[in-house]
Amino acid sequence: MPRILTTRRTRRTAAGLLAGALLIPVLAACSGDDSKDTTTAASAGSSESGVPKADLTVLAAASLTDVFKAAGAAYEKTHPGTKLTFSFAGSQELAAQVKQGAPADVLVTADTKTMDGLKGDTNDPKVIAKNRLVIATGKGNPRKIDNLKDLADTKIKVVLAAPEVPAGRYSRQILDARKIDVKPVSQEPSVRAVLSKIELGEADAGLVYKTDAATAEDKVVAVDIPDDQNAVASYPAASLKGSKHPAAADAFLTWLSGPQGQKYLQDAGFQKP
């Protein structure tokens, strides 16, 4: 009898060892699946393009309104999961919003001076485009305005951007350099407001960016200003230190500086950085 019990125990032990050996690969496979699930969960916050999903708020100079709307729509298509919300205004207004702590992720101004004044609130800026001024007049140029000197005629209603607006500073810069005394009938809070006055016939002429005039070719005429009498406007862009989505903000800025973003800017009339 003792021999029979020993044999049975031996058989049971062998069966147990065999079952354990068979179970090890199964557990290893389960362990592998768990690690895959963890990786998938970790990457759930990224879009197919590899850019983190985020809702980004972009504060941008008014002169970028049309091109950024088009570029933004293209960016969202190629970066599913990212939504861009733009807020357009004069650069000085955008700077005030940043200083007041307005929630935003990216800032693009129409001059380096405004951006430089926000060093404590922005990461390192990079110029993404440049622009130049033109004289915008009513359709058909009824006042026959040909050059900057014509704007000094008191019979001509001229509207300019306010001095604190980049376009206003550039305007005064080129007028003062040639000692041309222009008395504007109004000074507007943004270059788009200047353009609107001319479109509505409330002013005969004004100084706006070349790209702004191009958006209203059916309503205004753009009179070119020679390069040696003009000013170059630079557009620096930077992510904000208070952004809740720094990686997504930097990805958008990288795209703007890349071939796709640059194509949209240059097709709209902006010059290369």
Residues 151, 168: Cα–Cα separation, whole Å: 15
Q: Cβ distance 194 to 222 under 8 Å?
A: no
Q: Is the pLDDT of residue 160 over 90?
A: yes
Query: In 3D, which of 231, 112, 111 has the Cα closest to residue 174?
Result: 231
Segments of the chain assigned E as strands: 54-61, 82-89, 106-108, 126-138, 158-161, 186-188, 205-209, 220-224, 232-239
Beta bridge partner(s), residue 187? 160
Q: How many helices (H) and strands (E) does the chain have?
A: 9, 9
Element (H, E) at 165: none
Q: Is the pLDDT of residue 17 over 60?
A: no
Q: Is the pLDDT of residue 10 over 60?
A: no
Same fold, 54-129+235-267 and 131-232: yes
Q: What is the mean pLDDT of residues 262-268?
A: 98
Domain boundaries, the chain: 54-129+235-267, 131-232
Span between the terminal Cα atoms of the chain, in Å: 97
Average pLDDT, the chain: 86
- pLDDT tens by residue, 23-75: 334 333 334 443 333 333 333 355 555 667 899 999 999 999 999 999 999 99
Q: Cβ distance 47 to 80 under 8 Å?
A: yes
Domain 131-232, CATH among 3.30.465.10, 3.50.50.60, 3.40.190.10, 1.10.10.10: 3.40.190.10
Q: Is the pLDDT of residue 215 over 60?
A: yes
Residues 148, 133: Cα–Cα separation, whole Å: 11
Nearest 5°: the CA angle 202, 206, 190 is 85
Indicate the class that CATH gives domain 54-129+235-267.
alpha beta
Query: In 3D, which of 190, 219, 214, 218 has the Cα closest to residue 202?
Result: 219
Q: Considering the entire predicted model, what is its pTM?
A: 0.81
